[in-house]
A and B are shown apart, each in its own frame.
Chain A
Amino acid sequence: MIGLAGYALLPWYISAGGFWSFGWLAAPLGAGSSALVWAMSGRLWLVGPLLGLGFAAAVLAARRPPLATARGLVAAGALGLATMLGQGLMILGTGTRFGLAEASQPGMGAGAFVTAAALLFLITTGISGLGRGRGDAFVTGLVGLVVALVAVFVFYPMAFILIRAFELKGGAGFGVSEFLPRFFAPEIWSVSCLGGGRWCGPAVNSLLLALLTGAGTTLLGLAFALIFTRTDFPAKRLLRVLTILPIITPPFVIGLALILLFGRAGTITEFFADAFGWEKTRWLYGFWGVWLAQMLSFAPIAFLVLIGVVEGVSPSMEEASQTLNATRWQTFRYVSLPLMRPGLANAFLLGFIESLADFGNPLVLGGNFNVLSTDIYFAIVGTVADPAKAAILSMILLAMTLSAFVLQRQWLGNKSYATVTGKADSGRHAALSSGVRRACYALALPWAAFTLAVYLLIVFGSFVKLWGYDHTFTLIHYKRAFGIIMRNGIHFTGAAWDSYFTTLTISAISAPLTAAVGLATAYLLVRQNFIGKGAFEFSTMLSFAIPGTVIGVAYVMAFNFPPIELTGTALILIIVFVFRNMPVGVRGGIAAMSQLDRSLDEASIMLGANSATTLRRVILPLLGPAILAALTYSFVRAITSVSAVIFLVSARHNMATAFIVGRVENNEFGIAIAYATVLIVTMLAAILALQALIGRRRLRRTDRVEAH
């Protein structure tokens, strides 16, 4: 036991010691000294971590009984980590908070990071030595790592929002006196538009919009899903294409296309104005425009969810209903539809959350119609920067998405009627009654045509001079964005190249990290039992419910100064992507791992492999497709993400989406659309390449991943 703990400890020790000597690298002051040096030169608060490590060494050297050693390790690690956190939070960049110290210190760097990791693993090894987690140091270490990461990069920034919301005007400290009046201010909650007034508060706007979008996308999604699974509609593959569109579409592209169609100079507006003499209005810039754009963006998501739901209804139940002499309509009405109800609610809540979190569409189409996500943005970057207002709005938005999220989990969690069992169900789904079928076609087909038209226009629009005025073919937009001059080698002169390469690099770096964190978390959730697992799962899924705008604001507030100073770096972009997209990796990993018989890992363990070897040799090889899916998804999401990124980009690290937003704000639609088209093509290529890889892997294995 001691040997085991000692063995597991040694490598950290060496690396901690190694970094120790040239730690604090990233300190912008250029002071490359180690903590040890600092501590000796009078910064006594840095001694804490060293004490912890020293204590641990002493405990190990003492060779006491295993339980005592384990307890000692936990205590030593906790001591070191606690003192480290304490000094980090108290002695900030500007120095004298709480009047504790005269000195100031810069952000923590690599040395601090490694030290913290070493201390963390001391604790987890100690805990495993106490017999928790079946005495597996790897598992407890992994749990500790994920918990620490989520705490630092999700909860820590969220805490900042909470604190800033209580800030008094003019930076006069903190207090509740201004919080409540501002939280419930009529400018946020006004409902006068319902009573015929002209204007509603952003909270009410967001809520109404989300409700309508949720309902609309669910209805459309259901129509598509029914057509896809229950009819002999000939162009089903085309419908499949619809499902990947929203994933690869930068968020404001649909808004742009709608402007080109229905804006004041839009094609359709012009057509009706010419043909019928209708007045050109600005109806698109407001509630209905945003709603339309969101419907186009999120209906495919509902479709994707509901395909699974509709297919999940066991055919044998429908057959049973029919043998009991029910007509097709009665079967659908009294059997299939009730069985789908939890799935429908799920799709609704998903649309609801997506709509609340949506930033691109309201930004482009909102006009005077304010929603929370855009108001948060303007509170930060607007003429009067008001972080407290941003924090309050963020809290309201967060409260809405979180309640929807909690509702979805608590209420629907146990109510899945999904009737997919291990048994092969050989029955066929009942065909739709003709009435339902016609209704579905009537709803879905025009919509599909509309969606297709919108996407074609995006491509078309990038090749014309000035949409709505001058439709001559041109490559000027591409030239300006992606110009290459071949003189003395290749020069990327286009305005967009910079952000394009940054985007690809950062996405490519964050994708494997996202997949790794997501799958590691999934592994812990599916395969391991430990105290607080429920809370652990909830907190890892939480960042899914946090709107990107809120995350962006929180990161700006939290990581703008020591102890963790990251703003302006590429690192913060990578981190934000990893923790924004992690829940998807977790979900995918959980789904894939649940299909792997648990006895496979147990067999590996019984054969003398430890958890790490089992993960590497048995689980990961069997998870190939899930890993690739997580990779693709996080890569693509990183490219299309705008809401969180827009707060975090810097001149050196600009992202494609932020670049496009800039062009839109300058009314340079041509370049924006051209750039978006290039992005879509890039992502399509990435997806197809990865899918080809997945497809080839499947051929080599049997489809059944069961243990016999």
Chain B
Amino acid sequence: MTRGSVRFEGVGKRFGKVTALEPLTLDIAPGTLVTLLGPSGCGKTTTLRLIAGLESASEGRILIGGHDVTHLAATYRRVSMVFQSYALFPHMTVLENVAYGLRVKRLPKADVQAQAEEGLALVGLTGFGARLPSELSGGQQQRVAVARAIVLEPEVLLLDEPLSNLDAKLRRHVREEIRQIQQRLGLTAVYVTHDQEEAMAVSDRIIVMKNAEIAQEGSPHDLYDRPASAFIADFIGDANLIDVEVTLAGATTGLTLLDRPLTLPLASIETGPAKLVLRPHQLQLSAEPLPGSLPAEVRYAAWLGNQIQYTLDSAAGPLFAITAPVAAPFRQGDSVHLTFAASDARLVRG
């Protein structure tokens, strides 16, 4: 299999006066799966379509596998795409769908047949070739779409929210399959989704986008553990964001939380207002006050079997906490006291 890199050099896209993508520079290494993640309208799909050649860039250069493809039409780029709607041709059988790209390349008929069968085998659909797409389940249609894209041995495989039409349980299964095929074939893949859990589960790297710009990029672990902004902290995994005032910047950080001094074992650069990031499971609840604990009241408690979710009112604002199931959970209206480990906390700019 060929594997190609993708490189954007100052690529921007405007539709009339609307800016869909601020000039952007990014690099995608060969053989990796990179996810473009962000809320709707953040420019992630535009980025994908620019790689595909379905949109043309307003400025900048796009390189695939080291070649400048900025002005090359989609037809001639060695890039395949799996569409959100799958876009299977309803008037062709499954095999004809998979063979389409090979056929329009005018390969010999026997080769077309063999390679298409091979593609179907790769996604575990041997024997389904004669059916029409409408006779398959959603998950099977999805796999046909993947097979159709990869039989062309693309330099880059693009996936546009490939799981959004599947139900929740099937999603986990299919995303594992996609990841396995990508790793087995060593494909370069660009994956667009707005679901952060999906992104964390499949990606080598995640590029989080917001307002037509890159907000932060890194490995899933990086993003979760070292969020660069309140947006990232909130978007990647839930987070409680508490207003604090940094009083001492340096190798360790001194700050005031609700007029109380606190020292954190992490480095910071500047003093002033900031936000403390605390994940819901990092909050501990107890009935009795502990040293340095923060009093709160349970506004709502939900028992989910494997965990209990609490919405709390505190002097620092509403907080969200998750605890392991216990025999006697707190009830609505109970007074509780919150603590957290200083090493868990992260700071982001206010």
Interface residues of A (CB under 8 A from B): 1, 4, 66, 131, 134-136, 597, 599-600, 602-611, 613, 617-618, 621-622, 701-702, 704-708
Q: Tell me, in angstroms, the Cα distance from A704 to B134 when the chains sit together.
A: 9
Q: Is B36's beta carbon under 8 Å from chain A?
A: no
Q: Tell me, in angstroms, the Cα distance from A707 to B74 when the chains sit together.
A: 20
Contacts A606-B79, A707-B83 known; 11 new A-B pairs at CB < 8 A: A66-B71, A136-B75, A602-B52, A602-B81, A603-B88, A603-B89, A605-B53, A606-B158, A607-B149, A607-B152, A708-B85
Q: Is B23's beta carbon under 8 Å from chain A?
A: no
In the complex, the chain A residue whose C-beta lies closest to that of B77 is A606
B87 touches A600 (CB 8 A): yes
In the complex, the chain B residue whose C-beta lies closest to that of A602 is B54
In the complex, the chain A residue whose C-beta lies closest to that of B52 is A606
Q: Is B30's beta carbon under 8 Å from chain A?
A: no
User: Which of A66, A602, A613, A622 makes the CB contact (< 8 A) with B87?
Assistant: A602
A707 touches B88 (CB 8 A): yes
Interface residues of B (CB under 8 A from A): 52-54, 56, 71-76, 79-81, 83-91, 100-101, 104-105, 132-134, 138, 141, 148-149, 152, 158, 165
B132 touches A134 (CB 8 A): no
User: Which of A597, A603, A611, A622 makes the CB contact (< 8 A) with B81?
Assistant: A603
Q: In the complex, how many angstroms separate the beta carbon of B20 from the nearest chain A beta carbon?
A: 13
B101 touches A607 (CB 8 A): yes
In the complex, chain A residues whose CB is within 8 Å of the CB of B72: 135
Q: In the complex, how many angstroms separate the beta carbon of A613 from the nearest chain B beta carbon?
A: 5
In the complex, chain A residues whose CB is within 8 Å of the CB of B87: 597, 599-600, 602-603, 707
B56 touches A135 (CB 8 A): yes
Q: Tell me, in angstroms, the Cα distance from A136 to B74 when the chains sit together.
A: 9
User: Which of A4, A136, A609 makes the CB contact (< 8 A) with B104?
Assistant: A609
Pairs A-B, 9 closest by C-beta atoms: A607-B101, A603-B87, A599-B87, A707-B85, A609-B104, A599-B83, A606-B81, A702-B134, A135-B73
B91 touches A608 (CB 8 A): no
A708 touches B141 (CB 8 A): yes
In the complex, chain A residues whose CB is within 8 Å of the CB of B134: 702, 704
In the complex, chain B residues whose CB is within 8 Å of the CB of A603: 81, 83, 87-89, 148
Interface CB pairs A-B, < 8 A, 28 = A131-B56, A134-B73, A136-B73, A597-B85, A597-B87, A599-B84, A602-B54, A603-B88, A603-B148, A604-B104, A605-B75, A606-B79, A606-B80, A606-B149, A606-B158, A607-B100, A607-B148, A607-B152, A608-B76, A609-B100, A610-B73, A613-B104, A618-B89, A705-B90, A707-B88, A707-B90, A708-B86, A708-B165
Q: Tell me, in angstroms, the Cα distance from A617 to B85 when the chains sit together.
A: 19
A610 touches B83 (CB 8 A): no
Given A134-B53, A606-B52, A613-B104; A706-B85 close (CB under 8 Å): yes
B104 touches A607 (CB 8 A): yes
Given A135-B71, A707-B85; A622-B90 close (CB under 8 Å): yes
In the complex, the chain A residue whose C-beta lies closest to that of B100 is A607
B104 touches A605 (CB 8 A): no
Task: Give the residue among A134, A136, A705 with the most B Cβ atoms within 10 A.
Answer: A134
In the complex, the chain B residue whose C-beta lies closest to that of A139 is B73
A134 touches B86 (CB 8 A): no
Q: How many A-B residue pairs have CB under 8 A?
A: 103
Q: Tell me, in angstroms, the Cα distance from A609 to B71 when the chains sit together.
A: 17
Q: Tell me, in angstroms, the Cα distance from A1 to B73 when the chains sit together.
A: 10
In the complex, chain A residues whose CB is within 8 Å of the CB of B54: 134, 602, 605-606
Task: Give the residue among B54, B81, B87, B149 with the most A Cβ atoms within 10 A.
Answer: B87
B83 touches A602 (CB 8 A): yes
A622 touches B75 (CB 8 A): no
A621 touches B88 (CB 8 A): no
In the complex, chain A residues whose CB is within 8 Å of the CB of B83: 599, 602-603, 707
A599 touches B79 (CB 8 A): no
Q: Tell me, in angstroms, the Cα distance from A618 to B132 when the chains sit together.
A: 15
Q: Tell me, in angstroms, the Cα distance from A1 to B79 when the chains sit together.
A: 18
In the complex, chain B residues whose CB is within 8 Å of the CB of A618: 89
Q: Tell me, in angstroms, the Cα distance from A607 to B88 when the chains sit together.
A: 12
In the complex, the chain B residue whose C-beta lies closest to that of A137 is B73
Q: Tell me, in angstroms, the Cα distance from A231 to B152 when the chains sit together.
A: 55
Q: In the complex, how many angstroms separate the beta carbon of A628 from the nearest chain B beta carbon?
A: 15
In the complex, chain A residues whose CB is within 8 Å of the CB of B165: 708
In the complex, the chain B residue whose C-beta lies closest to that of A624 is B91
B138 touches A610 (CB 8 A): no
In the complex, chain B residues whose CB is within 8 Å of the CB of A4: 76
A608 touches B141 (CB 8 A): no
Q: In the complex, how many angstroms separate the beta carbon of A115 from the nearest chain B beta carbon?
A: 28
Given A621-B91, A702-B90; A608-B73 close (CB under 8 Å): no
Task: Give the residue among B74, B134, B148 with the most A Cβ atoms within 10 A.
Answer: B74
Task: Give the residue among A4, A131, A602 with the most B Cβ atoms within 10 A.
Answer: A602
In the complex, chain A residues whose CB is within 8 Å of the CB of B105: 608
Q: Tell me, in angstroms, the Cα distance from A599 to B85 when the chains sit together.
A: 7
Q: Tell me, in angstroms, the Cα distance from A431 to B319 when the chains sit together.
A: 52
Q: Tell me, in angstroms, the Cα distance from A604 to B81 when the chains sit together.
A: 10
In the complex, the chain B residue whose C-beta lies closest to that of A705 is B90
B100 touches A604 (CB 8 A): yes
Q: In the complex, how many angstroms separate the beta carbon of B142 from the nearest chain A beta carbon?
A: 9
In the complex, the chain B residue whose C-beta lies closest to that of A605 is B74
Q: In the complex, how many angstroms separate the beta carbon of B72 from the nearest chain A beta carbon?
A: 7
Q: Tell me, in angstroms, the Cα distance from A701 to B132 when the chains sit together.
A: 9
Q: Tell me, in angstroms, the Cα distance from A605 to B84 when the chains sit together.
A: 16
Q: Tell me, in angstroms, the Cα distance from A66 to B73 when the chains sit together.
A: 14
In the complex, chain B residues whose CB is within 8 Å of the CB of A704: 90, 134
B89 touches A600 (CB 8 A): yes
Q: Tell me, in angstroms, the Cα distance from A604 to B90 when the chains sit together.
A: 12
Q: Tell me, in angstroms, the Cα distance from A610 to B76 when the chains sit together.
A: 8
In the complex, chain A residues whose CB is within 8 Å of the CB of B73: 134-136, 605, 610
In the complex, chain B residues whose CB is within 8 Å of the CB of A622: 89-91
Q: Tell me, in angstroms, the Cα distance from A136 to B79 when the chains sit together.
A: 17
A708 touches B91 (CB 8 A): no
User: Which of A606, A617, A702, A706 makes the CB contact (< 8 A) with B74?
Assistant: A606
User: Which of B71, B74, B75, B80 makes the CB contact (< 8 A) with A1?
Assistant: B71
Q: In the complex, how many angstroms separate the beta carbon of A210 from the nearest chain B beta carbon?
A: 39
User: Which of A599, A609, A707 makes the CB contact (< 8 A) with B75?
Assistant: A609
In the complex, the chain A residue whose C-beta lies closest to that of B158 is A606
Q: Tell me, in angstroms, the Cα distance from A705 to B87 when the chains sit together.
A: 11
Q: In the complex, how many angstroms separate the beta carbon of A402 from the nearest chain B beta carbon?
A: 28
Q: Tell me, in angstroms, the Cα distance from A218 to B317 when the chains sit together.
A: 61
In the complex, chain A residues whose CB is within 8 Å of the CB of B90: 622, 701-702, 704-707
In the complex, chain A residues whose CB is within 8 Å of the CB of B75: 136, 605, 608-611
In the complex, chain B residues whose CB is within 8 Å of the CB of A597: 85, 87
Q: Tell me, in angstroms, the Cα distance from A622 to B79 when the chains sit together.
A: 25
In the complex, the chain A residue whose C-beta lies closest to that of B91 is A621
In the complex, chain A residues whose CB is within 8 Å of the CB of B56: 131, 134-135
Q: In the complex, how many angstroms separate the beta carbon of A639 from the nearest chain B beta carbon?
A: 32
B104 touches A608 (CB 8 A): yes
In the complex, chain A residues whose CB is within 8 Å of the CB of B80: 606-607
Given A602-B54, A617-B104; A707-B71 close (CB under 8 Å): no
Q: Tell me, in angstroms, the Cα distance from A358 to B238 when the chains sit together.
A: 68
